[in-house]
Structure 1
């Protein structure tokens, strides 16, 4: 067997086997991390939904009905085998022209010219050979682009406990689609390569561009299909660019403690922007990343505040020592908050609200203006913050925070509230019963 055939077989099998083994070990490590957290920090709150959800995510055998059967394992391995079968000829297509160039192998891949379209019959045998070899090289570079994309995709699926037979099959189909598309584009002259004479074939400087385009089409096959649809005037829905401009993505770097490197690490857990971080389970974030539980908690709380008030108000609130959604609750919903402080915070909280809305609730249209006296009532301001805080994700975070505070206090049951403040009756709620 030639060395490139053996290398192709090894590379085709290496990635699926490595990912399956890594996925099993990752699940075991993360399960042990959550169990340790349950037995220490949440020892008196072992049945919290967030704990049980994290355990169910990493322990597939907790529910007998969801326990993976032998058939499920066979499906996963079958998907990996299919991906390896597609990768093997792909690596051969990539390596075979190289073996001919460097002369390390006496035998080379015998590819039927019909696979890559029979060239012009008026060309000489040498020109025909060049056309076929270039077609093989184009297919090989398209495979390389798709393989690199799938490498990132499958690793991310593994890190997020989503590696399955479907993921392998989807990756394999993407490889095939990219190679077919690149060959079609190359032979239809979409990259501007002519083949009228032997001399043009021998001196075609555009072949390097063809390889680059093949790599891009292999990496982004959907992009190539979309372009072809435009060329043949296939009707597709256009994106509303105005709506897209309004729906801007807030980067993770606006959070204190998250820089570019940390954001890159969080992206491995499918956390790409503030919305993803704001709704994640801090326990799962702690189990899947090297960061501490309280650090993960702080990031999620900051993200919640940024998500509901917007970037402008978020930065303004941080200037006034309010960093998280819990800080905002404490600052506005506590009993005995001075009304002047409430109005000042409301002006910051509604920093980018419309001038009409600010005017109707009694806030100046512009801060620091000649007539910036605020007349907004405390009830209106508390109502705004109560709406912001009345969110399922915020309530979930509050329950976790209460459990951590109780464990921090040694599980004291003295009847005192765990929070540092008493909210009283929120707008729309019945009055709280008197203490005692």
Structure 2
């Protein structure tokens, strides 16, 4: 073990102290919250759930991140030992030694110097491996003179500066997560009662965001006032639930690819806060979830009326107008007011029927509170805030928590603000290619690859196969094969990729070996078998597939008025490329940094397998 690595006893003591401190902190927070609510039993579930979601979950995610770091560093060391990926280590101070001189006067390097030079050359060649390893040591305060290994990483979490910094930056997320989860799980009777004598209602008073701008009747009526307050809280809490679980997925995905950072917790905080605000604003504009197009149409008509422009005539109403309510001296307004008499129609009175007599519901009555038509023998339903939250809003509010950016864009567009529009005419012709097109990848594996931020074939083509192997349960040979297939599919397109597979060309290296002339490597050992030169017939057949037109390309050129394809004659046929033209196309395809990196890893592993296994 390295001298700089912590002793096992010291690490155990620090880990035990941290766990004890963490448990004590959680217990102190629980007792403080319970004492603040006078230790009401009905609040226990809300308190426990909010503490778990707001404090225990982020701390557990940070500790899981540390365990992921340890396990993957050990896997990287095992991978390096298996395939002889020599890590770059600091050079020790040079010791003066006798310099041997050959008979011809030239200096001959010592065996140790030659071996060190070869080691440095090997370490410089494995840039992809060094990047994968450095990813898990970037935030560790390890001196450069010490080797990056699992022995220099603390055994328990919270022993390094980055873990504590991450928890400190997660405080805004913890606060909003505690507030939202507590209100979400608190008993409704505790939340709905507003007053100084109630636990939650004493500090959760209606705000300008919830009731600002309401009509005077709603503000003065205590029942309507409390109903609007509960409705807004319901929408905000459902949006919080959607935003919280979206953030939880984001945090777990960041841990899976070891991309969790302090800015990730701040993004989650902003995401939840923006989702709640947007959900409340949109609900205040469309409380009944009616057609937003109709609402905008009515707004446009109102603007035309204010500007003096003629508005389109409204269709004639077939309902009788409502009569004004008459209030007797010292009395209150009746619940329902009969309509004005219509010529030719019998008058309908709101008199109570005699006992045992069922009135005939022949004429409707109009509710003076909002114009809703009610039957004569049935009470009018509650309107306004007292009607509650529309059922469709239960889904909309939760969905807005997942996509607050789309909701913000919707609000800005409906507000009539002018923004630079997105050029979307090419979207139908630039569709994403799913990774399930690759051999060996089904829907379940595609879902696992999403944890590594791989959503389509282009993401897979640019992935580092070593990092993909370390951060996923898939083997190194499998990831190399997937990346090679994805690179071929990316440069040729999915249609030609499937056609090339009919010629047993599955990867980008298969295309290179089948078309390009073989050039022996300068460091190739003597006696290595030389592959035969590619036949011209095979090259011409591959070239014909590479320039073959697909129905998707024809539709795209027709809709975008691009004209015929390059080399296409009047009869629609395209000329067959020559051998030189085909080799030039393939040379351009494979001249890519991602292909060069994959070739470097491929050659290193082939070299470790041995020359006899290079070719069958």
| TM-based fold match above 0.5 | yes
SS in 1 for 2:420: coil
Question: Which TM-score applies when normalising by structure 2?
Answer: 0.60
Structure 1 contact 142–214 (Cα < 8 Å) conserved: yes
Distance 2:85 2:415 in 1: 64
Tell whether 2:57 aligns with 1:15: yes
**Alignment partner of 1:385 is 2:586:** yes
CA distance in 2, matches of 1:242, 1:228: 23
Deviations 1:19-59 (A, max 9, x none): 11111111221111111111111356455111101100122
Q: Assess if the C-alpha contact under 8 Å between 1:94 and 1:139 holds in 2.
A: no
Aligned counterpart for 1:290 among listed residues 473, 488, 498: 473
Q: Does the C-alpha gap of structure 1 residues 167 and 196 become closer, same or farther in structure 2, counting only changes over 3 Å?
A: farther
* Equivalent runs, 1:218-237 vs 2, <5 Å: 218-237=401-420
Over the aligned positions, Cα root-mean-square deviation in angstroms equals 3.2
1:303 and 1:62 mapped to 2: Cα distance?
Answer: 37
SS of corresponding position for 1:249: coil
Distance 1:36 1:62, change over 3 A: farther
2:487 corresponds to 1:304 = yes
Decide which moves more: 10-19 or 167-176: 10-19
**Take 1:99 and 1:285, find their aligned partners in 2: how far apart are those partners?**
51
Q: Does 1:256 align with 2:442?
A: no
Q: How does 1:29-428 map to 2 (within 5 A)?
A: 29-43=71-85, 45-47=122-124, 48-60=126-138, 61=140, 64=143, 72-96=162-186, 98=188, 107-110=199-202, 111-115=204-208, 116-117=210-211, 120-123=215-218, 124-189=221-286, 191-192=288-289, 199-201=382-384, 204=387, 207-334=390-517, 336-352=533-549, 356-358=565-567, 366=573, 374=576, 376-409=577-610
Cα distance between partner residues in 2 of 1:276 and 1:212: 32
- Worse-superposed segment, 43-52 or 321-330: 43-52
CA contact (8 A) 1:185 1:191 kept: no
In structure 1, C-alpha distance between the alignment counterparts of 2:164 and 2:141, rounded to whole Å: 21
CA distance in 1, matches of 2:130, 2:141: 10
The 2-side partners of 1:294 and 1:307 are apart by: 20
SS in 1 for 2:387: coil
> What TM-score do the two structures reach when normalised by structure 1?
0.83
Asked if structure 2 preserves the Cα contact closer than 8 Å seen for 1:286 and 1:296, the reply is: yes
Alpha-carbon distance in structure 2 between the residues aligned to 1:94 and 1:196: 31
The CA deviation at 1:281 is: 0.7
Deviations 1:224-247 (A, max 9, x none): 211111111111121211232332
- Deviations along 1:348-375, one digit per CA (max 9) or x if unpaired, are 1222388753459xxx9659xxxx8x4x
| 1:267-324 deviation digits (Å, cap 9, x = unpaired) | 1100011111011111001001111110010000000100111111100000110000
**Distance of 1:337 and 1:70 partners within structure 2:** 57
Q: Contact (CA 8 Å) 2:85, 2:129: kept in 1 or not?
A: no
Partners of 1:420 and 1:350 lie apart in 2 by 31
Cα distance in 2 between the residues matched to 1:192 and 1:384: 56
Is it true that 1:27 corresponds to 2:69 in the alignment?
yes
Aligned length: 403
The answer to whether the 8 A contact 1:250-1:273 is kept is: yes
3-state DSSP of counterpart to 1:184: helix
- Unmatched 5+ stretches in structure 2: 1-33, 35-42, 87-121, 291-367, 371-380, 519-532, 554-563
1:91-135 CA distance string (max 9 Å, x none) = 1221235465999xx844432123522554434322322221222
Alpha-carbon distance between aligned partners in 1 of 2:590 and 2:207, rounded to the nearest angstrom: 65
Contact residue 56 and residue 62 of structure 1 kept, 8 A: no
Contact 2:50/2:178 (<8 A) preserved: yes
C-alpha distance in 1, partners of 2:537/2:433? 31
Structure with higher Rg: it is 2
Q: Give the superposition deviation at 1:196.
A: 5.3
> What's the secondary structure of 1:113's corresponding residue?
coil
The 1:342–1:189 alpha-carbon spacing in structure 2 relative to 1, beyond 3 Å, is closer
Mapped partners of 1:196, 1:96: distance in 2: 33
Q: After superposition, give the CA deviation of every residue in 1:48-71 in whole Å (9 maximum; x if it has no partner).
A: 111101100122348648999965
Q: Deviations over 1:138-171 (max 9, x none)?
A: 1111100111111111111222222111111111
User: Contact 1:79–1:164 (CA<8 Å) still a contact in 2?
Assistant: no
Contact 2:287 2:390 in 1 (8 A): no
Mark the CA change 1:192 to 1:383 in structure 2 (over 3 Å): closer, same or farther: closer
